Amino acid sequence: MHMTRLKEEIGLIAPSTTVGSGVLIDEKKENLAVSKSRDPYVLGILREFGVYVALALVLFIVTAIAMYLGKSQPLTAANLSNIVYQASLTGIMAIAMTVVLITGNFDLSVGSVAALVGVVFLMTVGTLGFGIAAILALSVAAFVGLVNGAINQFLGINAFIVTLGMLTGARGIILVLTDGRSLNSTDESAVAAMQLFETTRQPMNVVLYCVGGLFAICGLVGLYRGSTSRVRGVFALIGATIVGGMGILSGPRDTVANPAIYFLVFTVVIWLLLTFTTFGRRLYAVGGNAEAARLAGVNVVGYKIFGFLLSSLAAGFAGLLYVSRLGSTYPGAMQGAELAVIASAILGGTSLFGGSGSVLKSAAGALLLVTLTNGFNLLNLGANYQGIIEGVVIIVAAAIYTVGAGRRR
Amino acid sequence: MDTLSLEGIRKIYPNGTVALKGVDLVVRPGTVHGLLGANGAGKSTLIKILSGAITASGGTMRLGERQLAWKRPADAMKAGVATIYQHIPVVSTLSVIDNVFLSKTAGWRRSDEDAAKLRRVMEKIGYYLDPDATVGDLSIGQRQMVSIITALIEGAQIMVMDEPTASLGVEERDVVYKVVRQLTSIEGKAVIFVSHFLDEILALTDDVTVIRDGVVVLTARTSEVDSDAIANAIVGRAIEAIAREHAEKSADTGGIALSVKDLASGSRLAPANFNVATGEVLGLAGFLGSGRSEILHAVFGADPKAVGAVTLNDKPVGRSPRAAMRAGMALVPEDRSSQGLFMQSSVCMNISFPYLSSLSKWTVLPEVARERNVAEEMIRRLKIKTSSSESLVSELSGGNAQKVAIAKWLASRPAMLLLDEPTAGIDIGAKADILALIREFAANGGSVLLVSSEFEELLAVCDRILVLRKGHIVAERIASQTSEHELVLLASGA
């Protein structure tokens, strides 16, 4: 019986309790007059879990082709952790971008801000040391975010335009600071600190157990709460089993690079914030209907500026990771990164009109993009074709989310 | 000219909602046919079927001898049935003439021929508009004329007008009436006129049809029915019942609850001074632009430009929505979908939103079970028709959505309710519920500041009425000692 109900909710079989199509309208039971509209089940499920399904599908296809071509690329925990590592910079920015989009705004300046932070950091790390230089560089990012937010909120200029200007302007500042030349740090202690920050690896099974445990808790809570969250609970439990299984299978020498862990932690923290706190609820409300939120006593301006601030800080953090990884930077670093970041959020089904979006899905979107790129490299498809296929994937994803138009977060 | 006749029109939506259960309708050429019904009665569904926006599940439509069947709005247009929607779909960046000939596919963008054609049509209906004026600069009434002219140019025989006067001022309404009469009596067209206002239905139409719960409950020559008969057909309940009850339990109000001193906002609101007693309903009567909404927003602290002093129960109230809420005030704004509700969120989330912190663990973690309890209690108390507290507000009818907009404030038992047009655009049934709720709120010791453009409604529920004109309070009347006639005269400055 329990399984039957689950299947009903997931939409595998038609509900057994309601007979026929609901033509029985009792004159006295007026409640029936307002019956709930439902999407077709398949489309609904696709919209709800599509990006996860797509991610799994692409992973399997890429693996299958690679193995067929004799280029061994088994789906090991080590390989997966590598994908998470490659997606970490885009992913961290995509999480914050999702928050900006939820508040009904837009941030094009993340690539430039990341590069600017990298430059400021590299210029000062030799004299100030890692910690102070990082704080200084992140303060620059915070300042940029506040300027974006203040211009948008107090002057009422569209976020698209403000951040487009910032994209160009910040890149200009980089050129002034570097005089068009690339930069690197030669200070030995600074290089060591940068490596400690970026290149250190952690034991993989511990990380996997943590993630799996989190999934399991969410899944059980979802099952316990019942109704609509039950489907999510089932998916979370499936995820927990897979992740936990990989934890057991991963060898004792498998490790995860730090940026992947930063990405995971940031995702989880923002997800918890958005899902379970009043702060998160108000953030959605501000994007969904700013005036209604204002009349309900919410500090709309503050929430919207917070979005920009978080986005710039996340971009700054990504910039630190970038320069720490390479030990150097150049004026054109991370140019165009904002496009991959926005694409990730769109793949995750975030609405460009505000009020809806999920950071978990945006994270999956970032992973999906990296997996695709990996696949292309593996198949020797060359950069010429990558753009075409990525473009198609993004538009198809947006089409799936839009067709039928039933928007619900 | 042919008679339009509908027979046994049914509509069942894919989700199982039965909107129409077999509607018959006969529209004679050269007449105005009034179509009425409460929100959710099936009126809009019928209009959508007529316009081709959706297809009927059963029944037949005939124009004269011709059987009508259309799959898209263009088919309906071609057959000569034009629908003029309440929210007029015009391209506001284009000129009048560009809009009128928007569907033209051949020829140049502008030709003398088109201009002449437009001039002829405007002469016929006796209404003139500058063909080169940008539609975005026109008033709502003028835009409506643009869509009427467009329909005529495209050769419409039958016009379906969905609440054409709902958002118009008095003068523009008269223009609509004149054009409608011209179209029917002189041009011989037929007009289906949908409206919530009984007086204009009685004055304008030749036939009248009332729909309730998807069936026709009344169809008659207008000359043979009166407003009571129509109102009873729509709901059976009437506002008078509340008014009578109110008069019997004549108000005994307490001490001063809200005190407003020198509250002003730029040029839109001159310094205002007034008090509201405990248990009192104070009405604000005035026409659009009289400063009536501005007063509410200023009192609530939602107008950053407002200056002045507001005290509630002798305690000064800070000048922000949050401070006003903390002091025990609640504002239900005029436009529920753009100011009051999160349309894409559930009923439950909307109701719990203003006081979410008090329903949360350590004020930051919302507790779903408590939210749901509160929402379900409000759904019961306000008789909100929804399939569950998890339904999206966008799925509710206008009247029920408005009840949600009020419920989200009542849940926290405020001391003072500020209501801005709480019954605009909703059916008489929901209206009666909301008015009864206002009285009940006041009877339990709450104070209410009520804005309404329907003076009849103010007279029914208020204890005292302030009349506003051009941002000034121009008169104060005891509700039981004044009349609708006097209020109109005071508000219009006649």
Q: Could you tell me where the beta strands, DSSP code E, fall in A222-371? A: 255-257, 328-329
For A40, residues 6+ apart whose C-beta sits below 8 A from its C-beta are A404
Residue A257 to residue A261: CA distance in whole angstroms? 7
Residue B353: list chain A partners with CB under 8 A.
Answer: 281, 285, 296
Number of domains in chain A: 1
Cβ pair B342:A355 closer than 8 A: yes
Given this structure, which CATH class describes domain B240-328+414-492? alpha beta
Residue closest to A340 by CA, chosen among A164, A111, A114, A165 = A111
Q: Does residue A291 form part of some domain?
A: yes
What does pLDDT average to in each consecutive run of 10 residues of chain A (409 residues)? 38 34 32 40 69 85 82 72 91 97 95 96 91 95 97 94 96 94 87 87 84 85 68 80 81 83 93 90 92 91 96 97 92 91 91 89 93 81 78 83 54
| For residues B389-396, average pLDDT | 86
Task: List the Cα angle A277/A282/A285 in 5-degree steps.
Answer: 135
- For an interface test with A, which of B343, B344, B390, B400 has the most A Cβ atoms less than 10 Å from its Cβ? B344
The Cα of B478 is separated from the nearest Cα of chain A by a number of Å equal to 31
Q: Does residue A14 form part of some domain?
A: no
DSSP A323-352: HHHHSEE-TTTTTTHHHHHHHHHHHTT--T
Q: Using CB atoms, pick whichever of A228, A291, A299 lies closest to residue B339.
A: A291
Q: Does residue A57 form part of some domain?
A: no
Percent of chain B with pLDDT over 90: 16
pLDDT score recorded for residue A242: 83
Residue A114 to residue A110: CA distance in whole angstroms? 6
Q: Does B40 touch chain A (CB under 8 A)?
A: yes
- For residue A50, give the H/E element and its range: helix A41-68
Q: Using CB atoms, pick whichever of B17, B321, B392 lies closest to residue A295.
A: B321
Q: What is the pLDDT of residues B18-66, one digit of tens each?
A: 788 889 999 998 899 999 887 667 888 898 888 888 888 888 888 888 8
CATH of domain B4-235: 3.40.50.300
Tell me: ipTM over 0.90.
Answer: no
The Cα-based distances of B353 to A188, B139, B346, B356 in angstroms read 54, 36, 11, 5
For B5, residues 6+ apart whose C-beta sits below 8 A from its C-beta are B24, B25, B26, B27, B61, B62
Residue B152 pLDDT grade (very low, low, confident, very high; cuts 50, 70, 90): confident
Model's pTM, two decimal places? Answer: 0.76
Percent of chain B with pLDDT over 70: 93
pLDDT score recorded for residue B249: 55
Residue B364: list chain A partners with CB under 8 A.
Answer: 277-279
Q: Using CB atoms, pick whichever of A34, A277, A296 lies closest to residue B353.
A: A296
Q: What is the pLDDT of residues B443-489, one digit of tens each?
A: 888 999 999 877 888 888 898 999 988 888 998 998 888 877 788 77
Phi and psi (nearest 5°) for B427?
Answer: -80, 170
Q: Does A21 touch chain B (CB under 8 A)?
A: yes
**Every domain range in chain B assigned CATH 3.40.50.300:** 4-235, 240-328+414-492
Residue closest to A145 by CA, chosen among A314, A258, A265 = A314
Is the Cβ–Cβ distance between A88 and A321 less than 8 Å?
yes
The Cα-based distances of A148 to A111, A115, A140, A170 in angstroms read 14, 17, 12, 12
Residue B280 to residue B252: CA distance in whole angstroms? 8
Q: Does residue A114 form part of some domain?
A: yes
Q: Does residue A64 form part of some domain?
A: no
Domain extent at residue A298 = 76-403
